[in-house]
Structure formats: structure tokens, C-alpha cells
Amino acid sequence: MKEKNSLPTIGIIGLGAVGFMLTNQLLKSNKGYIIKLLGKKKALKQFKNYFIESPAEFCQSYKQFFSKPHPNIILLAIPNPIDATINSISKELKNNKAIKSTTIVPLQNGVSAVKTIQLISTKYKLNQLNIVKGCITNASTRNSPISLKPAQYNPKKLFIALAKINSQSNLIIVIKLFQNMNFIVKKVNNLASLQWSKLISGNLSGYSTAVTFMPLIYTLHDNDLLRFEIKCFKERLKIINKAKIKIIDLPGFKARRIALIAQYLPTNILIQLKTLIYKSNLAPRSNTMPSTAKKILAGKKTEVDYYLKPIIDLGNKYNQNMPIAKKLYSIIKQFETGQVNPKQLSLNKRKLLLTGST
């Protein structure tokens, strides 16, 4: 019983595919963690139905989420933007003096999550909010076709890289937590290397799919689209190198090796290596519609401002033009805002938006 009491209380905010994976792995670990879940009403109901005998506490408000036992570690499994969530967390921490220390683990892609947490926590003058940045690198979570089960993933291929941000952050406890959840964990010392190395994986997941609305396998069998992807990737690597950001290998994703190959081999040769590209490209999701396309078709906001705009901003900072990234960003934003209705465009016309002159 002493061992149970010494374990941190784990809070998970966001009950989508990633939230489901984390909850499921925590419960399967049988370590006796106290688990508190916070999400939208519909997701909470779905989780309650699936984890029907679970000891987890299903919270309907931030006040309930931060009631005793207070969450010592919060896994932030929501999509970008996270501003509203961090504001709500900060208010609760500010008002609850009994909470001495909380470590938040943002799992969002992009390069803005840590900065957002730091800015908002500074505004609230919080000194008990610590940060460990996490990047899940190859879990391949996706929505489940089974209505009862919130998500699917491969429990034998769970990888995460973690970087300590604050000197107070207890990285060892967070590493142990993910190891108990059956993750292969890598500790990273450089936040920029972690975030940008993860960000380039978005290119390998197929940016063109956000415009064609076709699965990745379609891009891999279309040389025009594949050429666009490779040019996009090379453009991205060029500015990252100019900014002197070191690309590193992440668990489950050989970012440095892939970057070196893409940087030095000509496009025509890389097109011939498309089978290799396919194998390194989250193959389990290759036959499904990309999430960005799903959001556009559903009239929802995408995360393009978090995984694509940072590249353009980096180019502006170092006075390097980014024509491919700008074109892609402009197309997706026009779809997202309704300036262009993609449903009225044939597949060939959507494809030509990308493969026409840049």
C-alpha cells in the first residue's frame, strides 16, 4: 500500500485517440496510479462505457479535476491551440494554494506549446507549474471504426522523446511513468532539436494529403505529388540547417538519417526510393484519410498554424523565401476559412493546386 501512496496522481486532459491510448496503457500497467480524466461530455461518456470497471475518475470540470487528490502530472493530450486549457489550469493552480507542484507534459506537435505555457503561467505568477515536453514519435493512433472503442493503436510500438524545461521538473518520474506505460523513452537535452525533428515527420506523413484529401498511399503512387513532397521536405531542411537547428534521431523515427538522405540525394533518385519512403511513413495510416482533410471537410479549424506556419516564420527570420511552404499554407487556409470550397473542385484540380508552378 505504501508503494501505491507514493505514486503520483496522473491527470489526462483530452480524451481523443491519444488520450485513449494513454488511459488504456496506464490502466494496463497495473501500477496502481490514481487517474483523473477531463474531456468533453461526449468523450467522457464514451470512455465511461469502454472503461466500465475502471478506477479512473471522470471529471466534468477543472474544479473537480484539481480536487483532492491533486494531479501531480498532467498529460496534455488535446490538439492545438492550448491557450484556453492552460488558462483554465493556471486559474485553478492560482486559486488552490494546497497544490505545491504540478508537472505538465504537453504532447502537441509544433514549436509553440512550451512557449504558450510559459507565457500564461508567468502572467498568473505561478511558480509551481513545471514542464516536461513530450513528443510521441510513432504511436500511430487513429480513430477506431468500433463505436464503443475510442481509438486504435499498436501497443508494441509506443515511442516518446522527453525534454526537461524547468530545473524543478522531475523528469525521472515522467520517464518512469511512460516506461510503465510500455513506451520506449528517449531523453533529449535540446528542446529545439526535439520539436523540429518531430515537426519534419509531418512532411513524411504527406502534406499533399491535406489538399488532395486522398490517403498517403495515393501520394506514394503519384510521381507528381511525390516530387512536390520531396521539394517541400528539402525546402524545410534548408531553413532548419540555416537556423543551425540540429536534427536528431527520435525513438521510432530516424529523423537525422532521413534528413541526410533527403538533403543530399537528388529528387529523381528519391522518387525511385518511394518504397523505402513508404516504410518509414507511418504505414498503418497510409490507407486512411488524413486528419487535416477530415477537419476541413467538417468545417473545423486545422493545426496548420502550428505545424506549417513555424517553417514560414523561420524562413522570414533568416531572410529565406519559402515558396512551397507558403503555397501549401495558403491553399489549406483558403479551404479552412471557406474562401475556396474544396468540395467543388475535382481531385485533379486539387492536385494541380500543388503541382502547378510554384
pLDDT tens track for 219-241: 888 889 988 988 998 999 999 99
- pLDDT computed for residue 277 by the predictor: 60
- pLDDT computed for residue 110 by the predictor: 87
> Hey, which of 193-202, 218-227, 267-276, 312-321 has the most confident mean pLDDT?
312-321
- Give the model's confidence band at 218: pLDDT under 50 very low, under 70 low, under 90 confident, else very high: confident
Q: Cβ distance 178 to 160 under 8 Å?
A: yes
Contacts of 154 (CB under 8 A, 6+ apart): 139, 140, 284
Mean pLDDT of all residues in 162-191: 90
Q: Of 135, 113, 132, 108, whose CA–CA distance to 16 is shortest?
A: 108
Domains 2-189 and 198-355 share a fold: no
At the topology level of CATH, where does 2-189 sit? Rossmann fold (3.40.50)
For 47-89, the pLDDT digits (tens) are: 988 888 889 999 999 999 999 999 999 999 999 999 999 999 9
Q: Is the pLDDT higher at 282 or at 317?
A: 317
What single DSSP character describes residue 330? H
Cell numbers given for 350: 486539387
Q: Cβ distance 235 to 289 under 8 Å?
A: no
151: left (phi over 0), alpha (psi -120 to 50) or beta: beta
Asked if the model's pLDDT at residue 119 lies above 50, the reply is yes
- pLDDT computed for residue 219 by the predictor: 84
Helix (H) or strand (E) holding 199: helix 191-199
Say if strands 151-152 and 142-143 run parallel, antiparallel, or are unpaired. antiparallel
206: left (phi over 0), alpha (psi -120 to 50) or beta: left
- pLDDT computed for residue 6 by the predictor: 77
- pLDDT computed for residue 266 by the predictor: 87
Length of the chain: 358
Mean pLDDT of all residues in 320-337: 94
Cell numbers given for 266: 537528388
Cell numbers given for 99: 497544490
Q: What residue spans define the domains of the chain?
A: 2-189, 198-355
Cis peptide bond N-terminal to 251, omega within 30: no
Angle between helices 347-355 and 323-337 (to 10 degrees): 150
Asked if the model's pLDDT at residue 4 lies above 60, the reply is no
For 259-303, the pLDDT digits (tens) are: 888 888 888 888 877 666 655 554 545 567 778 888 898 888 888
At the topology level of CATH, where does 198-355 sit? N-(1-d-carboxylethyl)-l-norvaline Dehydrogenase; domain 2 (1.10.1040)
Q: What is the number of alpha carbons within 13 Å of residue 30 lying toward its C-beta?
A: 0
Angle between helices 113-123 and 83-95 (to 10 degrees): 40
